[in-house]
Chain A
Amino acid sequence: MSAYEMNEDAVLDDDTKDAIDIDRSVGDFTFPENHKYDAGYGLSQDTVNYISDVKKEKDWIREFRHKALDVFNDKPLPTNWATDDLKNIDFDAIRYYLSDGQAPKRSWDDVPAEVLETFERLGVPEQERAFLAGVEAQYDSEAAYSNMKEELTKKGVIFVNSTEGLREHEEIFRPWFGKVIPTGDNKFSALNSAVFSGGSFIYIPKGVKLEQPLQAYFRINSENFGQFERTLIIADEGAELTYMEGCTAPKFETATLHSAVVELVAMKDAKIQYITVQNWSSNVFNLVTKRGVAHENAEIRWIDCNIGSRLTMKYPGVVMKGRKARGEVISIALASDGQEQDTGAKMIHAADETTSNVVSKSISVGKGRSTYRGQVHIPKHLKGCKNNTECDALLINANSRTDTYPAITVRGNQHATQHEASVSQVSEEMLFYMQQRGISEGEAMSLAVNGFINDLAREFPMEYSVELKRLIELEMEGSVG
């Protein structure tokens, strides 16, 4: 375990601040609430029943929710290892379900005007036309829009929200629902299990390979609200897909809670790539549990970028259950003043010849704080497992902070693991050099940051995120003849 901290006082000039700051204002707008269903403030058995009633759920789901509520109430906040800021979440001041009571529309023309305007401002319909195979757009607790290219429906691909998934395709989803991430995994997975709504339930049939990504966009519009989407993606044998999620919320005066559970199942030879660009406004507590199970020769890649939120706690994991399964977590985190990015990866090797790779890069600006927590587990009875872990931190100025807590448990001697960690600072000499070429201090800083994350940034589709584009200088050489 190692911790790095530099405590000298340093002040960023405005020019530098502007140059390295991300535009978080893109999602900072809101429309008046228009809710038919509102579970009200606070969390109780009544809240759970209210949600189950609105969704007309089967008894087993209702019971699942109630059990989860008990687990949530029993579990303490994990402040013994995580930040005390968690104590500032007022669970009684949150509304756990808000919706206009309308089913998701298959056409943007049918979506209510304000909701349409919201997603248009966020560029979602445009991206759909340009490069997506399907989109689900969630507005507070429910999807307002959900559509997929017709050819995929014909191939048997299922892309629906959690309510519809459990109701219409119970035989497919129930066997895996809550199995990759059990309710009691942690306090927030229990919370999600009690009040989940929305999210994507996806099934890709055997051998079907999606050429274009599916996308979900999670939008919070209402104040004092918690969003608890639930996603379950099953890629059957030999199937392949890329799923992307984005999210924004207006910057309210009060704290907002987002707590998702995402379960992935990659059957034999399947490949799932899950891409997130998280740009929540700086009042959002983003407490998310993400894990996948990779069967024989299957591959799960989590590609994660966290640039928003007040506090993010997220440690995507892969359980490599079948021989030659592969797991990967590629992550970029940017913690600016007032932000804490507590992220990492869990790699659980549970079969021979499994391979995992973790590459994490974090940038701390001003008083921003980034933490990497990693867990790699390779038990004694396995052979031929490999893990590579790299975590690099860049501190923009002297009072930024980064911590690294890698936990690598490798038993037995037939494995290969390597771990590298580095902490660097944008040095005065580097800035002097760049400025001597006529580049302003702010732009020089921005270039240095871009350079730091450049290799990872290529993993993110450029069309996807204007925020990330700001962060990343595209190589233009390829476009020149």
Chain B
Amino acid sequence: MSLIVNNLQANIDDSPILKGLNLEVPKGEVHAIMGPNGSGKSTLSKVIAGHEDYEVTGGSVTLDGQDLLDMEIDERSRAGLFLAFQYPMEVPGVSNANFIRAALQARLPKGEELDAVAYYKSLYEKMDILEMDRKFTARAVNEGFSGGEKKRNEILQMMMLDPTFCILDETDSGLDIDALKIVSQGVNAMRSPERGFLVITHYQRLLDYIKPDVVHVLSDGQIVRTGGPELAHELEESGYDFLKEPVTA
């Protein structure tokens, strides 16, 4: 049971971005994907989540055996997939509390109402872990949030929705070291044998806080190297220059 990406190919505006990508993240593991700008890191997360700008031209993505590519965006979410956005969107006028409530409500059978008291209890507990002010619940989703607040909000949503598989897309970008620690704490608190993580990042820094089991290097739409945590350090020291050498996968 895991996330399995098999020979995934995807285009945007007819130009290929993912060119036969293979990846398997078993439950309970944290895998990091690193790679230079333009290698397809963010495309991978959006294709898995079902963004309509990308056209899947081949391959498959399954989560615990379910065919994700056959599902609507919201169905994928309810099937257990969570994507923490690199650039979380603002939703003007909709409070955080209402937004998260709507997302939880969408997971309940028709006619069943979310228990409000239990909901707020759970929400406040998680906000405390992320050191978020209570006033945050009444603020509109991401509107006027600092970069750090937006990322914390992503992790809060992740904690509330309790997904089986999480993709973190450049969650470290725009974070100062304190925010990075808090966000990482939140992620680490969620690590469990029942949950898989794919952490997409450009820098090794995040991986000091969220320790990966496996590190993959993505280049030109394919995974070109896979290794242990030491691979991230190696990349940190010598950069991505090795990619310029001819590679045989």
Known contacts A428-B52, A477-B138, A479-B116; A435 and B94 CB within 8 A of each other? no
Q: Does A96 contact B (CB under 8 A)?
A: no
Closest A residue to B85 using CB positions:
A433
Instruction: Name the A residues within 8 Å of B140 (CB-CB).
Output: 451
B161 touches A437 (CB 8 A): yes
Beta-carbon contacts under 8 Å, A68-85 to B: none
Known contacts A476-B116, A481-B117; A447 and B94 CB within 8 A of each other? yes
Q: Does B131 contact A (CB under 8 A)?
A: no
A416 to chain B, nearest CB (A): 26
Question: What's the interface size class on A, roughly?
Answer: 20 to 34
Q: Does A432 contact B (CB under 8 A)?
A: yes
Give the number of A-B contacts (CB < 8 Å).
Answer: 102
B52 touches A452 (CB 8 A): no
Closest B residue to A477 using CB positions:
B97
With A and B bound together, what is the CA distance between A455 and B103 in angstroms?
A: 22
B93 touches A438 (CB 8 A): no
A441 touches B74 (CB 8 A): yes
A198 to chain B, nearest CB (A): 38
B106 touches A439 (CB 8 A): yes
With A and B bound together, what is the CA distance between A479 and B73 in angstroms?
A: 32
Q: Does A440 contact B (CB under 8 A)?
A: yes
Q: Does B98 contact A (CB under 8 A)?
A: yes
Instruction: Name the B residues within 8 Å of A435 (CB-CB).
Output: 50, 72-74, 77
Known contacts A443-B106, A477-B97, A477-B138; A434 and B91 CB within 8 A of each other? yes
Q: Does B120 contact A (CB under 8 A)?
A: yes
With A and B bound together, what is the CA distance between A438 and B82 in angstroms?
A: 9
B159 to chain A, nearest CB (A): 13
B102 touches A447 (CB 8 A): yes
With A and B bound together, what is the CA distance between A437 and B91 in angstroms?
A: 13
Instruction: Name the A residues within 8 Å of B76 (CB-CB).
Output: 436
Instruction: Name the B residues within 8 Å of A428 (CB-CB).
Output: 52-53
A435 to chain B, nearest CB (A): 4
Q: Does A16 contact B (CB under 8 A)?
A: no
With A and B bound together, what is the CA distance between A479 and B113 in angstroms?
A: 15
With A and B bound together, what is the CA distance between A439 and B117 in angstroms?
A: 21
Instruction: Name the A residues within 8 Å of B72 (CB-CB).
Output: 435, 440-441
Closest B residue to A424 using CB positions:
B92
Instruction: Name the B residues within 8 Å of A439 (CB-CB).
Output: 74, 102-103, 106
Closest A residue to B163 using CB positions:
A438
B220 to chain A, nearest CB (A): 25
Q: Does A14 contact B (CB under 8 A)?
A: no
Q: Does B11 contact A (CB under 8 A)?
A: no
With A and B bound together, what is the CA distance between A214 and B205 in angstroms?
A: 64
Closest A residue to B49 using CB positions:
A436
A437 touches B117 (CB 8 A): no
Q: Does A171 contact B (CB under 8 A)?
A: no
Instruction: Name the B residues within 8 Å of A450 (CB-CB).
Output: 93-94
Question: What's the interface size class on B, roughly?
Answer: 35 or more
Q: Does A253 contact B (CB under 8 A)?
A: no
With A and B bound together, what is the CA distance between A134 and B240 in angstroms?
A: 77
B93 touches A430 (CB 8 A): no
**Most B CB within 10 A of own CB, among A435, A444, A480, A481:** A435
Instruction: Name the A residues within 8 Å of B49 (CB-CB).
Output: 432, 436
Q: Does A454 contact B (CB under 8 A)?
A: yes
Q: Does B66 contact A (CB under 8 A)?
A: no
A475 touches B94 (CB 8 A): no
A23 to chain B, nearest CB (A): 18
A430 touches B161 (CB 8 A): no
With A and B bound together, what is the CA distance between A454 and B82 in angstroms?
A: 28
B106 touches A440 (CB 8 A): yes
Q: Does A298 contact B (CB under 8 A)?
A: no
Instruction: Name the A residues within 8 Å of B137 (CB-CB).
Output: 477
Q: Does A90 contact B (CB under 8 A)?
A: no
Q: Does A473 contact B (CB under 8 A)?
A: yes
A438 touches B74 (CB 8 A): yes
**Most B CB within 10 A of own CB, among A433, A443, A447, A473:** A433
With A and B bound together, what is the CA distance between A193 and B82 in angstroms?
A: 62
Instruction: Name the B residues within 8 Å of A473 (CB-CB).
Output: 94, 98, 102
Instruction: Name the A residues within 8 Å of B107 (CB-CB).
Output: 438
Known contacts A433-B85, A476-B116, A480-B120; A448 and B91 CB within 8 A of each other? yes
Q: Does A202 contact B (CB under 8 A)?
A: no
Instruction: Name the A residues within 8 Å of B117 (CB-CB).
Output: 480-481
With A and B bound together, what is the CA distance between A428 and B73 in angstroms?
A: 12
Beta-carbon contacts under 8 Å, B65-121 to A: 72-74, 76-78, 82-83, 85, 88-95, 97-103, 106-107, 116-117, 120
B116 touches A438 (CB 8 A): no
A443 touches B120 (CB 8 A): no
With A and B bound together, what is the CA distance between A454 and B91 in angstroms?
A: 12
With A and B bound together, what is the CA distance between A452 and B78 in angstroms?
A: 26
* List of 8 A-B pairs having minimum Cβ-Cβ separation, nearest first: A451-B93, A451-B94, A438-B77, A433-B89, A435-B73, A437-B103, A454-B93, A435-B74
A-B contact pairs, 15 of them (CB 8 A): A428-B52, A429-B89, A432-B49, A437-B99, A437-B103, A438-B161, A440-B72, A441-B72, A447-B94, A448-B94, A451-B93, A473-B94, A473-B98, A475-B138, A477-B137
Residues of B at the A interface (CB closer than 8 Å) are 49-53, 72-74, 76-78, 82-83, 85, 88-95, 97-103, 106-107, 116-117, 120, 137-138, 140, 157, 161
Told that A434-B99, A440-B74, A447-B102 touch, could you supply 7 new A-B pairs with CB distance under 8 A? A437-B77, A437-B102, A441-B73, A443-B106, A447-B99, A448-B91, A476-B101
